[in-house]
Each structure stands twice: as structure tokens, then as C-alpha cells.
Amino acid sequence: MASKRTSRNADRMSAAFHEAGHAVASVIFGPGIERAVLTPNSRHHAGFTEHNRPDALGLHPLITAAGPMAEALHRFGPRPTQRQMWRVLDVNSHDCATLRASVGDPSAIAAAPLLDRCWPAVVELARVLDERGEVGEGDVIKALRGPAGTGGGSVRRRAAQRLSSGIVISAGTVPV
């Protein structure tokens, strides 16, 4: 018998999509991640993504925008409205402030083309994150269907490996 998803489970899955969006964008744009974690007992946030560079969110605004946009796509469907985006950003004040500081406009809709191309990877990663509570860069690369062995080593080397492995090409992006 299938169990009903509770509001708490739905919130956890929204957080999983949010962190999966950040993680996929960070791997594609070059800094990569150490891990993405769901934090169900935190009063301050439902999860976080620990990037390989502390300035990763400010480094490329699409890394920041991909989290709220992935959450909005999960919650509202393939084309969330600006009002729906604001609902997501209202509860993700850190992302909103980072977007405002880096590009002046806290809209996360700019991440839609990237997520359209990588949506199956985001869905897979969110599923794994919901199940395990934590994922690493290797999980992101696996979800993106990258070759084994591209997670580990220096940030520069991993970026070069991702570029040569076709992950960047399939995402239609260029790392920073």
C-alpha cells in the first residue's frame, strides 16, 4: 500500500530539488561541490550545498538561481510564474540576497534553460538526496551521466575532466 506524502515529506522533497539544482549547476559551471545535505531538524534552513569554493554562489549567479528555480519547477510545474518564483525566494532569503548582490535582480528564472537541459539529472539527484539525506559530487556526476572517476582531485582538474567528459557539452554551458 502506498503511503500518503505528508506536508513534511513534501517540504523535504522541495528542499531536495532546491539543493539538487544548486549542486548540478555548481558541477557544470566548475566550482563543484563537497556535498549537498538535507537538514530536517534545523530551524534556519531545510538543507545546504557545500561548494568547493566559498564564493561559488557569488561566482556564477546561475549556481545560486538554479536552487530556487529547481524548487519552483518541482512545486509548480514546467513554467512557474514570477509570483510563484517570489514565493520560493521569500523562504530562501540567502539565495535572494546573493542574487540581488551579484546581478541586482533576484529573479531565478534565468536558470530555466540550464535546468531544462539537466532536469533528469536534477530529478535523480533529488530522489537520492531525499532517500539518503546527503549526496556528493560523485553522485551529481553520476546523475549527469558523466564517466566514473571525474569526482576528486583539484577543482581545476575536475573542471577539465567535466569539460572533456561531455557533461558541460550536454548541459550547453561553459565552466567559469
52-69 tens-digit pLDDT: 887 766 668 889 899 999
CA distance 30 to 73: 23
Flag whether 49 is in a domain.
yes
Flag whether 2 is in a domain.
no
Flag whether 131 is in a domain.
yes
Parent domain of 50 = 7-170
Flag whether 47 is in a domain.
yes
Q: What is the chain written as a DSSP string?
A: -PPPPPHHHHHHHHHHHHHHHHHHHHHHHSS-EEEEEE-TT-SS-SEEEEESSTTHHHH-HHHHHHHHHHHHHHHH-SS--HHHHHHHHHT-HHHHHHHHHHHS----GGGHHHHHHHHHHHHHHHHHHHHHSEEEHHHHHHHTTPPTT-SSS-HHHHHHHHHHHTHHHHHT----
- pLDDT tens by residue, 35-52: 999 998 777 789 999 988
The three cell numbers of residue 49 are: 550545498
Flag whether 136 is in a domain.
yes
Lowest mean pLDDT, pick from 85-89, 98-102, 156-160: 156-160
Query: Across the chain, what does the average pLDDT equal?
Result: 81
- pLDDT tens by residue, 2-25: 445 577 788 999 999 999 999 999
Flag whether 132 is in a domain.
yes
Flag whether 54 is in a domain.
yes
- pLDDT tens by residue, 92-118: 888 888 888 877 766 777 888 999 999
Task: Look at 176 and 108; give whichever has higher pLDDT.
Answer: 108
| pLDDT for the residue 1 | 39
CA distance 22 to 27: 9
The CATH code of the domain that includes 94 is 1.20.58
| pLDDT for the residue 73 | 96
Flag whether 46 is in a domain.
yes
Say how many domains are in the chain.
1
